[in-house]
Chains A and B, each alone.
Chain A
């Protein structure tokens, strides 16, 4: 099973700052990686697919990069609504998949 390790566990930032979230896979997943955002009490929502493509309706301040084993989600300038938990998901053996443990982006 492919294990995804997200870091840091918690990121404390202020609105307007840049957020950089990391996701590392235990073996190559090519570009088959997605990112999700989850706000309290809500289901996750798809942000990024295929490592670097924004899902429908996702603002341009969200960007994804990486391939193989190392991936990054960047939020260029945090808006108040961006404080949430972010999960990466690998899909290299689709429809089997695994999720990372999550990174919480909190207000500093």
Chain B
């Protein structure tokens, strides 16, 4: 059974960089069938796609966040990562990592999510 687990600091100061890692177990991140995505959810609000990465390193980002987002992948560790720079309180959210399969499918496996609070 595929499992995804987010890890990283739960508290980040304003103007600093948020860094999270998603560790994939029970399957290979190097499969050609999937992209790997980050989605966030501010408290009490809806879902926002942040970006997605392929095992080769190809990335796609939400245009509204593109200037601040960097995603990377480490196939040797079966991990992918998110960096979000210059954070503000508006970036406080639960951050999810998930596996994305095909145009006509969806995010079929999700991590449990990790709350990141931006506060001094």
Closest Cβ of chain B to A21, distance in Å, is 14
Contact A98-B46, Cβ < 8 Å, known A43-B113, A45-B110, A46-B107? no
Closest Cβ of chain A to B93, distance in Å, is 13
Is the CB–CB distance between B102 and A43 below 8 Å?
Answer: no
Contact partner of A98 (CB less than 8 A), chosen from B49, B98, B104, is: B49
Total interface residues on B, CB under 8 Å, equals: 25
B26 neighbours in A (Cβ, 8 Å):
none
Is the CB–CB distance between A99 and B49 below 8 Å?
Answer: yes
In this complex, what residue of A is CB-closest to B58? Answer: A95
Cα distance, A31 to B107, chains bound together (Å): 16
Is the CB–CB distance between B105 and A99 below 8 Å?
Answer: no
A45 neighbours in B (Cβ, 8 Å):
110
Interface of B is mostly: strand
Q: Does B35 contact A (CB under 8 A)?
A: yes
B37, B52, B107 — which one has the most chain A CB atoms within 10 A of its CB?
Answer: B107
Q: Does A62 contact B (CB under 8 A)?
A: no
Total interface residues on A, CB under 8 Å, equals: 27
Is the CB–CB distance between B110 and A96 below 8 Å?
Answer: no
Contact A100-B46, Cβ < 8 Å, known A43-B111, A55-B108? yes
What is the 8 Å Cβ interface bit string for chain A, positions 68-101, against chain B (1 contact, 0 not)?
0000000000000000000101011011111111
Closest Cβ of chain A to B46, distance in Å, is 5
**Beyond the given A1-B63, A43-B111, A55-B106, could you list 12 further A-B residue pairs with CB under 8 A, ordered by the A residue number?**
A42-B112, A43-B110, A44-B110, A46-B108, A55-B108, A89-B47, A91-B104, A96-B52, A99-B47, A100-B46, A101-B46, A102-B47
Q: Interface of B with A (CB < 8 Å)?
A: 35, 37, 39, 46-49, 52, 60, 62-63, 96, 98, 100, 102-108, 110-113
Q: Which 6 A-B pairs have the closest CB atoms?
A: A34-B106, A43-B110, A50-B104, A95-B52, A99-B47, A94-B103
